[in-house]
């Protein structure tokens, strides 16, 4: 499923003293099957942008097209029944653990599939699969989501979205507040899901995540798209204006370059890549 924004504007509380234009003329396409990062400082419009994909908000002007679904400021063009769209686009909000409410973990995870018309047994089946997929085991099925640790709650909430089997997965700051190990686990889960053909859109501040996981990155600034490119193209430019920092590995490579140790930086993604690049350079002497 591809997502296409054309000329999208969005204004919060129009015609009041709180009026605030969050999105200004967004033209953007998220291609199917890609892992795309959306970065930018707080208030740059990232969250507003992704809520359009799920038709949680309607553009003030312009339209967002997700396959055959149209979320447009024009009432005539707009898709009337949004439930199928929401089934196909899974949105994991920031701190999703605050959406849990059922008595047991499996019931909570099954809530989404059930809303989208799955039979009780079928929904529970999907739920169990999703719970195992996020790295929790069978002992969690019957437990109350409220007695879990923060990280486990987060996993349950993510499982709640995965159980809907979305074709586009949008995740807003999924690693915020997680310990490094849990963050790594969560991110590799998203990578796996992406490999199954799901388009993943990751909203984040963390350029390290962008470098290691994303095929493409969209930089937002003051409600506009500043650029959309491959992560390696972005690094090396001056990003301080956008409150963004180069990933650590890239900074490391740059300081090596400064000291006269030339290495190839365009394909750097992970620490291993960096190590290999250094090794290659070393062999060449």
Among the residue ranges 14-22, 173-181, 186-194, 212-220, the one whose residues contact other proteins (CB under 8 A): 14-22
Nearer of residues 88 and 228 to other proteins, judged by Cβ: 88
Distance CA 27, CA 5 (A): 5
- Decide: is 91 part of the binding site for other proteins (CB under 8 A): yes
Site for other proteins in 184-213 (CB under 8 A): none
* Nearest one of 40, 4, 10 to 23, comparing CA atoms: 10
- Decide: is 4 part of the binding site for other proteins (CB under 8 A): no
- Decide: is 58 part of the binding site for other proteins (CB under 8 A): no
150-162 vs 105-115: helix crossing angle, rounded to 10? 30
Choice from 31, 83, 119, 142 touching other proteins (CB under 8 A): 83
Under a CB-based contact definition with an 8 Å cutoff, are residues 234 and 242 in contact? Answer: no
SS3 247: coil
Would you state the structure tokens that stand for residue 200, as one six-digit string?
């993943």
- Decide: is 20 part of the binding site for other proteins (CB under 8 A): no
Distance CA 91, CA 179 (A): 22
Choice from 4, 41, 56, 132 touching other proteins (CB under 8 A): 56
- Decide: is 86 part of the binding site for other proteins (CB under 8 A): yes
List the Cα angle 223/225/226 in 5-degree steps: 110
Choice from 41, 78, 87, 167 touching other proteins (CB under 8 A): 87
Choice from 14, 146, 229, 243 touching other proteins (CB under 8 A): 146
Nearer of residues 21 and 47 to other proteins, judged by Cβ: 47
Nearer of residues 75 and 259 to other proteins, judged by Cβ: 75
Site for other proteins in 100-129 (CB under 8 A): 100-101, 111-112, 114-116
- Decide: is 161 part of the binding site for other proteins (CB under 8 A): yes
Cβ of residue 19: shortest distance to other proteins, in angstroms? Answer: 11
Distance CA 90, CA 269 (A): 26
Could you tell me whether strands 168-172 and 89-92 are parallel, antiparallel, or unpaired per DSSP bridges?
A: parallel
Cβ of residue 265: shortest distance to other proteins, in angstroms? Answer: 38
Under a CB-based contact definition with an 8 Å cutoff, are residues 9 and 61 in contact? Answer: yes
Choice from 164, 182, 217, 249 touching other proteins (CB under 8 A): 164
Cβ of residue 33: shortest distance to other proteins, in angstroms? Answer: 21
Cβ of residue 102: shortest distance to other proteins, in angstroms? Answer: 8
Choice from 45, 59, 62, 96 touching other proteins (CB under 8 A): 96
Site for other proteins in 208-247 (CB under 8 A): none
Can you list the pairs that 49-54 forms with residues at least 24 positions away whose Cβ atoms lie under 8 Å?
49/5, 49/23, 49/220, 50/91, 50/170, 50/172, 50/201, 50/203, 51/91, 52/5, 52/8, 52/10, 52/23, 53/3, 53/89, 53/91, 53/168, 53/170, 53/201, 54/85, 54/86, 54/89, 54/91, 54/170
Q: Residues interacting with other proteins, by CB under 8 A?
A: 16-18, 51, 54, 56, 83, 86-87, 89-91, 93, 96, 98-101, 111-112, 114-116, 146, 160-161, 164
């Amino acid at each position: 499923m591809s997502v296409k924004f054309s000329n999208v504007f969005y204004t919060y509380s129009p015609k009041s003293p709180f009026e605030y234009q969050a999105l200004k003329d967004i033209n953007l396409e998220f291609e199917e099957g890609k892992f795309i990062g959306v970065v930018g400082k707080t208030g740059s419009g990232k969250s507003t942008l992704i809520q359009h994909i799920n038709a949680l908000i309607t553009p003030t002007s312009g339209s967002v097209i997700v396959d055959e679904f149209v979320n447009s400021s024009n009432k005539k063009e707009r898709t009337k029944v949004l439930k199928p769209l929401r089934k196909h686009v899974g949105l994991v909000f920031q701190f999703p653990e605050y959406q849990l409410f059922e008595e047991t973990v499996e019931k909570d995870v099954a809530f989404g599939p059930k809303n989208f018309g799955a039979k009780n047994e079928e929904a529970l089946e999907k739920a169990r699969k999703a719970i195992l997929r996020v790295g929790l085991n069978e002992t969690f099925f019957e437990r109350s989501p409220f007695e879990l640790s923060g990280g486990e709650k987060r996993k349950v909430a993510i499982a709640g979205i995965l159980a809907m089997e979305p074709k586009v997965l949008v995740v807003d700051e999924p690693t915020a507040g997680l310990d490094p190990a849990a963050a790594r686990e969560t991110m590799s889960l998203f990578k796996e899901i992406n490999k199954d053909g799901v388009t993943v859109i990751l909203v984040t501040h963390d350029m390290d995540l962008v470098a290691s996981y994303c095929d493409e990155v969209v930089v937002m600034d003051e409600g506009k798209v500043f650029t959309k490119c491959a992560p390696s193209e972005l690094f090396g430019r001056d990003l301080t204006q956008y409150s963004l920092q180069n990933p650590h590995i890239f900074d490391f490579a740059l300081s090596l370059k400064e000291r006269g140790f030339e290495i190839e930086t365009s394909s750097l993604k992970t620490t291993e890549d960096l190590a290999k690049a250094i090794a290659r350079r070393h062999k060449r002497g």
